[in-house]
Structure 1
Amino acid sequence: MSLLPLDRRSPPARALRRVAGFGLTAAAALLTAVLTGAATGGARAEPAGAASVALVVSVDVSQSVDDSRFVLQMEGIAEALEDPGVIAAMTGNPGGTLFAMVTWADRAGLAVGWRRIASRADALAVAAQVRATPRQSGEFTCLGQMFRTVAGTILPAMPVPAERIVVDVSGDGIDNCTDPEDLEAERTALLATGATINGLPILVPGENDVVGAGAYRAPGYGLRATPLPQERTDLVQWYRAHVVAGPGSFLLKAAGYGDFSRALRRKFIIEVSRLAPGRHED
């Protein structure tokens, strides 16, 4: 079999001329590097280093979230990922931001697998994945199940380490399928991974402005002893007591589903920008 002569203008030809005075081993190494670059269009492989923050966006899709509300949530997350301020925050730290999205009702599932957002193109690609997420069926609001899935399945699957782990929980209701001690145990187990849990309760006047035993009759009531405190409370207070926890954790509410996108944009920036912990609630 005959070999075709190298074009003098080609990268391999130039490399051979450059390494004429090198030792054989060095010449072979350099030529291999040039040929690899030529085969990949000259692109350099990105280092697989640690990310600045790993962000798990965890979205309630239970029965209270109808199709229009589901679309508003997915669109709100996608719009947040496309926002210039959010992109700057997510890409501004070394290693960028690891992103995953979990949807949960009776069960929790990985809707968007781990993606590194280190450029605007990365953010737009993830936004497109979020918009294409199909609706997950489910009736109950099983927060404890979501905590367990994130701690036991989602976080161990992170492709690279992260300096910080943030679990961003949004929803319009309280857990209605987990015993109180089990819910607290699952949250404690998630915190033990080093995660911080932030809350984004979605307030719907006339529907969830009062929650607790005898007030918010979501699916599952009457099937077992109520896991809720006997006193009535509001959703913000319930999230503060049963969701938000960990170093620098905070709560930021959305004034209905129409406000979800605005609230989430602000929340993403706070979560990934290393802003000083404090009261971010509005």
Structure 2
Amino acid sequence: MNNRAAKLISFFFLLVMAFIWIVPLVYTFLTSFKNEADLQANGFTILPINWVMTNYQDVLFNNTSAPLAKWFMNSLIISASQTILVVVVVSLAAFGYSRLKFRGRNALFLFLMATMMFPSVVNLIPLYKMIDSLGWVNSYLAAIVPGAAGVFNIFLVRQFLNGIPREFDESARVDGASDFQIFLKIILPLLRPVLTVVALFTFTGAWNDFLWPSIVFNDVEKMPITPGLQLIQGMYQLDIAHALTAALIAIIPTFILYLFTQKYFVESLSLSSGVKG
């Protein structure tokens, strides 16, 4: 097979995959403007017969038992707060494991890496017990704090940091800079590419998380939007237009985030598959 034929096959394969991913999204978008009565009467149609905005009004403003607008804001607060916390904790932890010398550093890091071998679902019960003992159930802290120190994020940033010449640290230390000053003024700016990747994946992960918020939130007003969609699905199980409208609203932030940060997502592939070190 020559190079031209291989490129042609790759193009058609990617075209088919793009079609499979895009069509449901387009159908969901168009269905959000359909009248439920028309949808039930006419079945599967691409374009709405009567374009309406009532679906958005109903799910956002006319539903006190499923406050989608409140859930949306809850998710924004949780995702943004967790992203900031993760960037701070991960960058400091990676700096310590890469640059600071202390007894048992390598053994501790290997133990930390070993915890990645356990599925996260194993931690659900003890983690919930800890959250409950702290009185954090039904609070933002229950969704924000447990995800603050992802092991893979620490590994990724540490490996990237190992590729930064130590001569920068030594020069600053000769000038009288402390370890924290070296981290804040020299290392942190150089970590911006990898920390941007960590922040993007943390935000999307926190926004799309379903299992853990479903466990720690039982107050409808305090739920984030992803577990809230389950309630909406139960309420609108025979109302496809409203259910799809709520789902479409839920993906707007991550869609916009990806739209404006595509290059960072592409960079993440090279960072995660061939990290420096």
**TM-score of the superposition, structure 2-length normalised?**
0.24
**TM-score of the superposition, structure 1-length normalised?**
0.24
Greater length-normalized contact order (CA 8 Å, ≥ 6 residues apart): 2
